[in-house]
Amino acid sequence: MSTAATPDPAGPAVVTLTMNPTIDLCWEVERLEGTGKNRARVRSVGAGGGGINVARHVVRFGGRATAVHTAGGGPGPRLNRLLDQEGIDHVAVGIEDDTREALVLFEASSRRSYHIVPPGPRVHHHEGQRCLEVLGRLVGGCPYAVASGSLPGGLPDDYFASVARVVREAGSRLILDTSGPALRAALAEGVFLFRCNRTEAESLTGRAVSGFADARALNEHLLTTGAAEIAVTTLGALGALCSTSRGHTRLYAPPLPGEPLSDAGAGDSMVAALATRLAAGDDPVSACALGVAAAAAAMLTPSTESFDVDVARSLRSQVKITAD
């Protein structure tokens, strides 16, 4: 296990967990051709994965964050170096298998992005347990923890349920953003805040989630069953529905000041804004409004590159908020 720079003496306001991080490579071609060679330039190389992205954006919003993540094989040290170079406080838990590398191919002529993401390594039981131990030590005295991203092979479906228990026992609150069987098991355990997009919402409901009414039905179910204290369902260009015990609130996405290029980083950007503002003492609806603005700003970038924080803050005032 290795650590990055010395943490802030005040401690992090947010600790994130990334079980399946990536090294994100973004290549740019003028036009993708089916024959011959496609000459590309390297647009960016960075550390990625849900929780790592969230930690990065929390810091960019002015908060304090520490990212816990796995790192293994040949790419593991490179992932750690990238985080160190970026100045992200992090704790790496070593694993045997290789950390995955993901590719974003940006075609300049069409302004389209193609995201190619492999499944990642196999994480053994004892490696997963070490991650839980590290998380448990760090979240003590920290108000919020974020578990974000996919669950790698080798870990049981109830792994994020174990994460939820560790966070609760440490006196912290868990914000969850994941998918698949691991999601259902974690919701059965119960979390503080759950954020899902349309695809994840439809996997839970078994039917299309096309508007605010559909999102309300899902959110009400999550609240009444104790799956989450706060439920946020995002609806793409429509915006998001934020639901608490006090009621449901529609947050309409602001008009974009430019051409949308990719939605790959929208979810992580939203969760980072939510976590930052909740840790600063904002109410859930106000925090969610900045989250909707951050998601919109993220769509203006062609890959997993960081959005413009100033643009996100300027869009915040254009997020229309109404009771549902």
pLDDT digits (tens, 9 = 90+) for 153-172: 999 999 999 999 999 999 99
Quote the CA–CA distance of 67 and 49 in Å, as a whole number. Answer: 11
Catalytic status, residue 89: no
Quote the CA–CA distance of 300 and 254 in Å, as a whole number. Answer: 13
Residue 235's pLDDT band (boundaries 50, 70, 90)? very high
Determine if the pTM surpasses 0.95. Answer: no
Class of the CATH domain delimited by 2-323: alpha beta
Residues 6 or more apart whose CB falls under 8 angstroms from that of 301 comprise 261, 262, 265, 307
At 46-64, the pLDDT tens digits run 999 999 999 999 999 999 9
Residues 6 or more apart whose CB falls under 8 angstroms from that of 180 comprise 150, 151, 157, 203
Quote the CA–CA distance of 176 and 186 in Å, as a whole number. Answer: 8
pLDDT, average across residues 138-145: 94
Q: Is the dihedral of CA 179, 181, 186, 187 positive or negative?
A: positive
pLDDT score, position 261 = 77
Task: Give the lowest-confidence range in 71-85, 111-125, 189-203, 295-309.
Answer: 295-309
CA 232, distance to chain mean position in Å, is 13
Domain ranges within the chain, ordered by starting residue: 2-323
Residue 1's pLDDT band (boundaries 50, 70, 90)? very low
| Phi, psi torsion values for 97, nearest 5 degrees | -75, 165
pLDDT score, position 303 = 65
pLDDT, average across residues 126-132: 98
pLDDT score, position 304 = 67
Please state, for a pLDDT cut of 70, what percent of the chain lies above it: 96
Residue from 24, 157, 268, 283 carrying the catalytic annotation: 268
Q: Does the pLDDT at position 8 exceed 60?
A: no
At 243-302, the pLDDT tens digits run 999 999 999 999 988 887 777 789 999 999 999 999 999 999 999 999 999 999 998 887
pLDDT score, position 262 = 77
pLDDT, average across residues 206-215: 94
Residue 314's pLDDT band (boundaries 50, 70, 90)? very high
Quote the CA–CA distance of 189 and 159 in Å, as a whole number. Answer: 11
Q: Does the pLDDT at position 5 exceed 50?
A: no
Residue 10's pLDDT band (boundaries 50, 70, 90)? low
pLDDT, average across residues 172-187: 94
Please state, for a pLDDT cut of 90, what percent of the chain lies above it: 83
Residue 180's pLDDT band (boundaries 50, 70, 90)? confident
Q: Does the pLDDT at position 7 exceed 60?
A: no
pLDDT score, position 11 = 64
Q: Does the pLDDT at position 4 exceed 70?
A: no
Residue 6's pLDDT band (boundaries 50, 70, 90)? very low
Q: Does the pLDDT at position 225 exceed 60?
A: yes
